[in-house]
A and B are shown apart, each in its own frame.
Chain A
Amino acid sequence: MTNGYLVGFVKGRIWQGDSKAVCVPGLNCYSCPGALGACPIGSLQAELAAREVKFPLYVTGFLLAFGALFGRFVCGFLCPFGWVQDLLYKIPSKKIGTFKYDRLLRYLKFVVLAVLVILLPALVKNAAGVGAPWFCKWVCPSGTLFAGIPLLLANPTLRAVAGFLFSWKMAVLILILGLSVFLYRPFCKYLCPLGAAYALFNKASFYRLKLDESACTHCGACKRACNMGVDPSKTPDDMECIRCGDCVKNCPTKALSAGFFTSRRKIQAEDSAEGSEQTESET
């Protein structure tokens, strides 16, 4: 839907309308020929790298709003590159559930966000006082897949100037896509700075998982169903949860549910329990 400018794919050019000033929630390169909106990570780097912006209020506002509303639901349902990785994981093969440094490596995406998306574009500037989009330039496989490849295929001028950087980005893309066949969403788990940003909101977003502890039998079906390695019966608000809903579908006792404000009833129940405890202690 956000990549609806189909003419761009044929003609090798991008949409230049005013809608490009508005960020879409997922990692969607604004140089994708079909893109009608802007990538929040690309835009954040653009603002930080620009001379005229002191603090990127506009893009930070988008991230705060999307994060508060959805948390990592965006990763599960609104990201085109996440969808591609999902499709590749459906290819029948031996699957790697977890490995020794799996959990530790999950923190790498926060380093990518802090260093490549925020610090380097903001601090390393050229003589004109303008920085570069380090993450887009050296890592982003979404940009290579949805923008680089289609534009180079359709535009001979761009094809003629492709060199080492394009080869490097192709290597990164091929590595991530290859891993995606065996490992569930490796880019989302270990590298995606947008996933890292939304992960910070998982404990405080409107859309979240709710666990009815009275109905939970701790059978482990939700943990086994989760490809992100989360145990929703222990941490339904885990930063790694992309709200895909597999745990909800697989819960035999319907103890898990997902939706907006779903923790409200539980919180109210806990509040009233706390209140009655206080009243008892007072009397």
Chain B
Amino acid sequence: MKTARRALPVLLLALGAGFLALGILGGEVAVVLSRAANICLECIGIG
């Protein structure tokens, strides 16, 4: 139980890195960039 608790952050970090890599390979970076590089009208209370 205690060993599992010690391993959990390592597993979560590895899972995060895996998700990130898959997201990059799947072209999700372009989706985020296209949204973030233009003024989000909803965010500023216009759209």
Mark A residues whose CB is within 8 Å of B. 13-18, 20-21, 23, 29-31, 35, 37-39, 42-43, 46-47, 50, 52-53, 56-69, 132-133, 136-137, 140, 143-144, 147-148, 151-152, 158, 161-163, 165-170, 201, 204-206, 263-264, 267, 270-271, 274
Contact = CB atoms under 8 A, between A and B. Distances in A.
Nearest to B34: A46
B12 A137 contact: no
**Interface on chain A toward B: helix, strand, loop, or mixed SS?**
helix
Nearest to B31: A50
Contacts of B43: 29-31, 42, 133, 136-137, 140, 143, 147-148
B28 A53 contact: yes
Interface residues of B, number: 39
A206 B16 CA distance: 14
Contact of A152 (B17, B23, B44): B44
B39 A42 contact: no
**Interface on chain B toward A: helix, strand, loop, or mixed SS?**
helix
Interface centre among B3, B8, B15, B19 (most CB of A within 10 A): B19
Given A137-B43, A147-B44, A30 B19 contact: no
Interface of B: 2-3, 5-6, 8-10, 12-13, 15-24, 26-33, 35-40, 42-47
Contact of A30 (B16, B29, B40): B40
A17 B38 CA distance: 10
B39 A14 contact: yes
B40 A31 contact: yes
